[in-house]
Amino acid sequence: MKAGCLTLFPGMAWDLSRIETAPRRACPSAFRVVTCGPVWKGLQVAIVFWLYGRSGAGKTTLANLLCRDLRERNRPVVFIDGDLARSGLSSDLGFTPGSRTENHRRVAEVARLVSEQGITAVVATMAPEHEQRDRVRQVLGDRMVWVHVEAPLEECLRRDPKGLYQKARAGKLNLLLDYPFDPPRPGEHDVVVNTASASVEDCHHHLLAEVLRRLGERESATRPMP
């Protein structure tokens, strides 16, 4: 039996680190389960692939292709797109740095819940400042992989898939052109996809190869002992 785990049925284990002692009065057995739910052997915490980059860099395009590929491989995956989170989960938030960070915290918490069910999560947000990236990392730790979807501002202005830069230029949206985009710090990201110098197809294949490699590595590391 793995240290810290109590096996109840073949293939199922309770994680003892999730059980804490409680006063005998409250719980005669002296133990209280604080987090419900078994930890299934071989179904450990899944990876969160977090695509970040400027508006128009290609995050949503690549994330959709990646999710399609993973589903075709019978791998459960949840896609959380920043734009959609903004219209529901974080519809009460504005765009101050603090609000952007709170938005990222919420999305990261959702991704954490998903990954704890053994489901791969793919997230796409701008995460423009270090503050947001640091907050996300704080919530997700080592279970996450940062993918920088990189394209220079001039290319994003040219593409402008949602017309946001045009609105910003017309003064209807003062957010985007002034938007800071902190350059990644050395070693910050795990994967880089440069969408200005390669086609959608090439970027997609590069990303898929990186993702499959990491999923394979994680699974061989957590595969239960025979």
Ligand X SMILES: Nc1ncnc2c1ncn2[C@@H]1O[C@H](COP(=O)(O)OP(=O)(O)O)[C@@H](O)[C@H]1O
Residues found near ligand X in the complex (CB under 6 A): 53, 55-62, 124, 159, 161, 195, 198-200, 203
Instruction: Report, in Å, the least distance between residue 28 CB and Mg ion.
Output: 53
* Residue 149 and residue 62 in contact, taking contact as beta carbons nearer than 8 Å: yes
60 binds Mg ion (CB under 5 A): yes
Taking the complex as a whole, the smallest distance from the CB of residue 159 to ligand X amounts, in Å, to: 4
Q: How many CB atoms lie within 10 A of CB 33?
A: 13
DSSP of 90-136, one letter per residue? TTT--SSHHHHHHHHHHHHHHHHHHHHTT-EEEEEE---SHHHHHHH
- Measured from each CB, the residue nearest to ligand X is 58
Q: Can residue 125 be called a binding residue for Mg ion (CB under 5 A)?
A: no
Question: Token pair of 127, please?
Answer: 């995460």
Which among Mg ion, ligand X, none contacts residue 145 (Cβ within 5 to 8 A by kind)?
Answer: none
Is residue 3 packed enough to be buried (19+ CB in 10 Å), middle (13-18) or exposed (0-12)? Answer: exposed
Helix, strand or coil for residue 34? coil
Query: Is the Cβ of residue 13 or residue 79 nearer to ligand X in the bound state?
Result: 79
Determine if 101 is a binding residue for Mg ion (CB under 5 A). no
- Residue 122: name its binding partner from Mg ion, ligand X, none (Cβ under 5 to 8 Å by kind): none
Question: Which positions touch Mg ion (CB under 5 A)?
Answer: 59-60
